[in-house]
A and B are shown apart, each in its own frame.
Chain A
Amino acid sequence: MEMLLEALASLMTFQSFITVLVGVSAGLLIGSLPGLTATMALAVLLPFTFSMPPLQGLMALGAVYMGSIYGGAFTAILINTPGTPSSIATTFDGYPMARQGRAFEALAGATIASVIGGLVGVAFLLLLAPPLARWAVAFGPAEMFWVAMLGLTLVASLSSGSLLKGLLGGCIGMLLSTVGVSPVGGETRFTFGFPPLQGGIELIVALIGLFVIPELLTMAAEGRGALRPSGEFGKREASIGQVAKRIFRRPGNLIRSCLIGQVIAIIPGAGGNVTSLVAYNEARRFSKDPQSFGKGNIDGVVASESSNNVMVAGSMIPLLTLGIPGAPPDAIILGVLMLHGLRPGIDLFTETGVLTNGFILSMGLAALMLLPVGLLGARLIYRVVIKIPYYFMVPCIAMVTIIGTFALRNSLLDVGIMLILGALGYFLRLIGIHAAPIVLGLILGGIAEQGYVQTMLAAVVDPIPWLRLVRNPLSQVLAGMVLLGAATALLPVWLERSGRLQKATSAEEEKP
C-alpha cells in the first residue's frame, strides 16, 4: 500500500503528466494511420526512451500503447479501415453507424469503452496479477490449437448472409498464412523459387490490402466520400452524456467484454485482434437483437473497443510476473525492462515495486486521458473526413497506406502484395466474400498449425498421438467450447433448411 502511494506521488508531477499526454496523443495519431501499428509505434519510440529514467520511459511506452490501440478505432469507424488489427471488429458496426450519420455516437461509444477497458485492465493488473499469471502458463501447444479453432468458429458468425462464403474466406486466409517459412520445421512453402517470399504474408499487409483498398476502390467507383456530411458534428446526434447513459444502463455487455478481454490477454500469443473479435462475437450471441449487429449497433463497437483496451494493461500480467509477452507490443516493453536491468518476476512488485506500480498507474492515467484527447481528436478527424472531397481523400489515404505498408518491413514486395490482395479483395467483396473471415483465417491459421504440429511432435511416444490434443482438462474444456460454438452456428442453419424452423429470415439483404 505504501508503495502504491509512493508510486502515485511519483506520478503526480508535471513532467509525468506531460509525458503521458504526449504519449497518448502520439499513440492516437500513429494508431489511427492504417499500417502503423501499436508494435511499430513502440519500436519507433524505443530509442527515445533510452535517455529517459526508467519510470518515465516506461510511462511513455505505456501511454503510446494505450493511445495507439484506441486510435485504431477512429479510422475503423470513419473510413471502414482498422488502424490497428485490434480494431477489426470495430468496423463491423462502427462504419455502418457512421454512414447513418451517427459517427459521433460511435466515436463517443468507442472512447467511453476504451477508457473503461483501460481502467479495468489496470485494476486487474494491480490487484490480481500473481494469481492470474498462473493462467498464462496453462496454455500449452494443445490449448493454443483449440484457442485458434475457437477463433475460427467465429467465421460462421462473421459471414453475414452466406455461411459457405464465410468459410471460403476463412480458407483463403488460412492458405495465405502458409506462404513463407513454416513455423515448425523451417521449410519454405509456396515461395515459387522467389527468395523474398520467405518472409510470408504479414498480417498487417493483408489487413491493409483487404480492408483499405476495396474501400478506396468503392469510393472511387461510386464517386462518394467515406461519409455523407450530416450537419453539424455531434449536434443533431446523441450527446456524450446520452451515449454514456445508454452504455451504462445495461452494463452487461461492457462487463462481459472486459472479462473476455482480460482472459484472452493473458494467453500468450493471442493478442488484441483475437480479443476484440471474440468479444464482438459474444456480444452478438448474448444480445436480444442479434440481427441488428453489423448494421450499426453501438454494442458491437463497445464490445470491440473495451476488450482491446483491457488487453493493454491485461497482457502485462504475464509479462511483468513471468516475462511472457501476452501480445506482440509487449515484447518491446520486455526489451526495455531488460535494458534497465529489471527482471520480470515477483521482485518487480516488491523490490522495485514503486517503479512497477508507477508504470501500472501511469497506464491508468493514460486511459483517463483518452477521454479529453480522444474526443478532441475525434472532432478533428471527423471534420477532416467530412470536408475533404473524395477525389482528394482517396489518393491521400492510398499514399499513407502505401508508405505505412512499406515502413512495416522496409519492403516494396509487401506493397505489391498489399495492392494485389486489395484488388483481389475488391472482387471477392463484390461476390460476397468479406475481408473479416479472410483476415481471421490468416491470423489463426498459423497459431493452429503451430499448436497442432508441436503437440503431435511431443506425442511421438504415445500410442495414439492425437489423443494428446485432449489430454489436459483445459484443452478438453476448450475443445468442448469449439464444438458448442460450431453447433450454435450451424444448428439454426440446418434447422431452417430442414424446414423445422418457420421463421423467415429478413436478414438477407446486402450490407451497405
Chain B
Amino acid sequence: MKCRLSTLAVAVSACTLLGAVGAVQADYPERAITYIIPFNPGGESDVTARFQEPILEELLGVSVNVTHRPGGGGAVAWSEFQNNAEPDGYEIIGVNIPHIIGQPIQRSDAGFETDNWEIITFFHSTPNALIVPANSPFETLDDLVEYARENPQAVTLGGSGTYSANHLDMLRFEQEADIDLTYIPFTGTGPLPAALEGNHVAGVFNYTMLGVQMDDRVRVLAVASEERVSALPDAPTFSELGYDIVGGAYRGVAAPAGTPPEIVETLAEAFAEANRRITEQQEPLGFVMEYITGEQIDEVISSLSEAYGPILEAAD
C-alpha cells in the first residue's frame, strides 16, 4: 500500500516536473525511473524486473520503480505507453516478442505498433519446448510425428495463449513436419502443469522453464533453441532432429520513440550489467541470457516477423 502510494506520488510529481523542466537531460538520470511491467505480478517478466531493480538502482544512482499495468496480454500498457510516455528516459516498459509482433497484425485495434519505440535491449529469451507427461506413449519426437501423421488432429497440445510464442512455433512445427495437430490455448503458464499431470492434453508447447520446473514428471521431446539449453542437457533441439525451428519468447525493455541515443545506451549498459549479475540465478531456471542491442534488435524482430508473419496473416 505504502509502496503503491509512493509510486503514485512519484508518478504524479514526475508529470509535473516534466511540464516545468522540459527536455534538459545533461546528467541523465537525475530522478526516479518508472519501469512498467505490462503483466501481472508474479510472472516471469515481473520476477526478472525485481532481480534487476536493485542492480539498476545501484548502477544508475536513482531509484527504479517497478509498476504493473496488466491487461489484454500487454496491449493495454503498450498502447498507453506509445501514446503518452515522454521520450526522456524516465519511463521504460517491458516488451516481449512475439507479443509485440503478433498483436498488431492479429487485432485491428491493438493500439500500438511493433516498432513505434526505441527498444533498449532484449535481455533474455525462453526457448519453446515440446513437453509430454512422463507416462506419455511418445518417447521421442519421431513417435509423436508418426502418430500424428496417422491420426490427424488427434494429438492435442496445450500452450499459453493464442498466437503466442507457443502457438506460433507449434504452427511452424506442423508445417515443417507436415502434420496436423490440435492446439488448446490456456491462460498463461499457470494451468499447464495440471493439464500435463492430469493428461488433459497429450503434451504442451511451452517454455523450457516448465520442463525444468516439472523435472522428472515430464519428458522434454525437443527445445526450439540453437544449442541445447544448459538446464536441460538431455533434451535435443528441433534442428538436431531435422526441423528448422528456433523460437520462443524474448523479453526486453523499450523507451518511447525519440528518446536520445545516449540515454538508450546508458540504459542498455545498465541492463547488460544487471544481466551478468543475475545469470547465476536465472540460468538454472531455464532462461537463456541474451545481450541483444542496437542493430541486432531489428535483425531479431525482422527475422521473427518473417517466420511468424505469414502464419498470422493466414490466420486472420
Contacts and interface: CB of A to CB of B under 8 A. Distances in A.
Contacts of B198: 136-140
A183 B187 contact: yes
Contacts of B70: 199, 409
B214 A198 contact: no
Contacts of B73: 181, 186, 198
Contacts of B75: 181, 195, 198
Contacts of B80: 196
A324 B182 contact: no
Nearest to B79: A195
Interface in A150-164: none
Interface in A114-168: 136-141
B72 A325 contact: no
A334 B194 contact: no
A36 B76 contact: no
A318 B72 CA distance: 28
A323 B70 CA distance: 23
Nearest to A29: B1
Contacts of B163: 186
B182 A334 contact: no
Given A44-B1, A461-B153, A198 B193 contact: no
Contacts, number: 165
Pick from A138, A187, A323, A341 the residue with the most CB of B within 10 Å: A323
Contact of A410 (B67, B151, B156, B200): B67
B4 interface: yes
Nearest to A331: B42
Contacts of B303: none
Interface residues of B, number: 62
A407 B4 contact: yes
A335 B46 CA distance: 9
Nearest to B78: A195
Interface stretch (B20-28, B106-114, B122-130, B138-146): B106-114
A30 B2 CA distance: 10
A185 B71 contact: no
Contact of B217 (A194, A339, A345): A345
B50 A47 contact: yes
Interface string B176-218: 0000001111110011011101101100000000000111010
A229 to B, nearest CB: 29
B106 A186 contact: yes
Interface in A440-484: 450, 454, 457-458, 460-461
A509 B5 CA distance: 44
Contacts of A407: 4-5, 8
Interface in A294-351: 318, 322-325, 331-332, 334-335, 338-339, 341, 343-345
Interface in A406-445: 406-407, 409-411
B53 A47 contact: yes
Interface in B39-82: 40-43, 46-47, 50, 53, 66-73, 75-76, 79-80
Contact of A461 (B110, B151, B201, B213): B151
A132 to B, nearest CB: 14
14 contacts: A29-B1, A186-B73, A186-B162, A195-B111, A198-B75, A198-B110, A324-B194, A332-B41, A341-B284, A344-B213, A403-B8, A407-B5, A458-B201, A461-B154
